[in-house]
Chains A and B, each alone.
Chain A
Amino acid sequence: MDFLSDHQPELLPGKRTLPPVQGVIEAPHGTTIVAVTFPGGVVLAGDRRATMGNVIAQRDIEKVFPADEYSAVGIAGTAGLAVEMVKLFQLELEHFEKVEGAQLSLEGKANRLSTMIRSNLGMAMQGLAVVPLFAGYDLDRDKGRIFSYDVTGGRSEEHNFAATGSGSVFARGAMKKLFRDDLTEEEAATLVVQALYDAADDDSATGGPDVARRIYPIITVITDDGFRRLTEQEASELSRAVLQRRLEEPDGPRAALL
């Protein structure tokens, strides 16, 4: 971002002057992103729906991106701005890595993203907020970590699980009941699918697995081997398994009462 502001400052999202607007700008919004840690890494996943008011703007939008080899960003909020922010974020991490010959620390990356969100505050005040979820594998501490943000760039580290976007309340509730400390990678992936299913169940802006069109959530896993996105085949198997169980128990797995 430093070099961009030196060379082409007009390309920076925060530097644009806005025309006066009446009312809210209609633009596609991305919805729910969830993340959960497990021993050895972290899983970050997102549903595939983008909405514009009460209309589904896109059924198969992709909202989870690798930021670099060891981290990923999931975006909720105004899709156009968010995608551009991620692009710039990816560029910055890669640029730093090539120039310095070493990667930024995970904290460093999280802080950089925080500044970028803050620079979008003007837009956020006009209803074009971007609220990402950042997850990565911390090579110094050997564990997966999750960071959540608010529109002003406030950053907070989340433990165990986190969610952002319109369906996040429902997803968080689901994860709270399903989370355990000793999840395997596959169980963690199943957990996020369950959480997204619950989000889609109660939030109209979140899309559930679309079996007819073969649109399944994007599920990514970050471990010390780096970033990996589950193939469509894997995502479909997980989603179908969850769906199959829900045919018998529509509300999903029950937690113990006491």
Chain B
Amino acid sequence: MSTPFYVSPQQAMADRAEYARKGIARGRSLVVMQYADGIVFVGENPSRALHKFSEIYDRIGFAAAGKYNEYENLRIGGVRYADLRGYTYDRDDVTARGLANVYAQTLGTIFSSAAEKPYEVELVVAEVGETPEGDQIYRLPHDGSIVDEHGSVAVGGNAEQISTFLDQRHRDGMSLAEALKLAVQALSRDTNGGEREIPAERLEVAVLDRTRPQKRKFKRIVGGQLSRLLAANGAATEAESAEDPDEVSGSEKE
């Protein structure tokens, strides 16, 4: 019988963190960013059916990088939490802060429990406010900590590099087309500084639009509307961010 080696708790945690980080780094990056009328989610996603972004509740959206089955599990958990809260109390009582706390607890417990492997996911929970000042963006790394972000945030493979790029260029009050353009630019940059083209059909884009008349502010931007936004440049596109009549409410129309 072999004698088990002593592994210090520091070392054990460092190993687990390393494992999770590597898993997340294998996935493609995504960007969550504030713009004048809300919050936009942009990511590269070749799949039309497996989403990285999702509606959680009226004003709350979810984005995740990493392992699909793990974040899908967390996403459904979040939808349940939000719907149960909203039903038991009131729709206004469902907040991104509350949800981020639940996620942090879950991820933290899984990360430090020796029985389970840590989740290889990094989440973003965002809530759109009545005004840009009321917007909230929380980033939840694999270990269960919460980071309160402002302006823009990137998670996934190239997160650090993209974040730096975005921090330098993002400004308040961008139009949707401008924000989208900046996000795509950031995502297109390689690790070694080169650029590659991401075609529109490989982009997954969603917004939490505070100007939507419906209660549910989450909307996917697909097809024609997406190409129009990508083609548009700068200030001439204010109107684009307004409601598009052929898009349906918060429904995820496939």
Contact = CB atoms under 8 A, between A and B. Distances in A.
Interface of A: 3-4, 7-8, 11, 69, 87-88, 91, 94-95, 97-99, 101-103, 225-226
A7 B80 contact: yes
A101 B51 contact: yes
A134 B251 CA distance: 20
B248 interface: yes
Q: Give the secondary structure class of B's interface.
A: mixed
Interface in B52-89: 54-56, 76, 79-80, 83-84, 86-88
B83 A69 contact: no
Q: Give the secondary structure class of A's interface.
A: helix
Contacts of B88: 8, 11
B87 A11 contact: yes
A226 B247 CA distance: 11
Given A97-B251, A226-B249, A87 B87 contact: yes
Contact of B84 (A8, A97, A98): A8
B254 interface: yes
A226 B88 CA distance: 27
Q: Which 6 A-B pairs have the closest CB atoms?
A: A101-B252, A69-B249, A98-B79, A95-B83, A91-B87, A3-B80
Given A3-B80, A7-B80, A97 B252 contact: yes
Contact of B56 (A91, A98, A102): A98
Contacts of A4: 84, 87
A15 to B, nearest CB: 15
B55 A102 contact: no
Contacts of A11: 87-88
B252 A226 contact: no
Nearest to B57: A98
A99 B76 contact: yes
Nearest to A225: B245
A99 B79 contact: yes
26 contacts: A4-B84, A4-B87, A7-B80, A7-B84, A8-B84, A8-B88, A11-B87, A11-B88, A69-B251, A88-B87, A91-B83, A95-B79, A95-B80, A97-B251, A98-B54, A98-B56, A98-B79, A98-B83, A99-B76, A101-B49, A101-B51, A101-B252, A102-B252, A103-B251, A226-B248, A226-B249
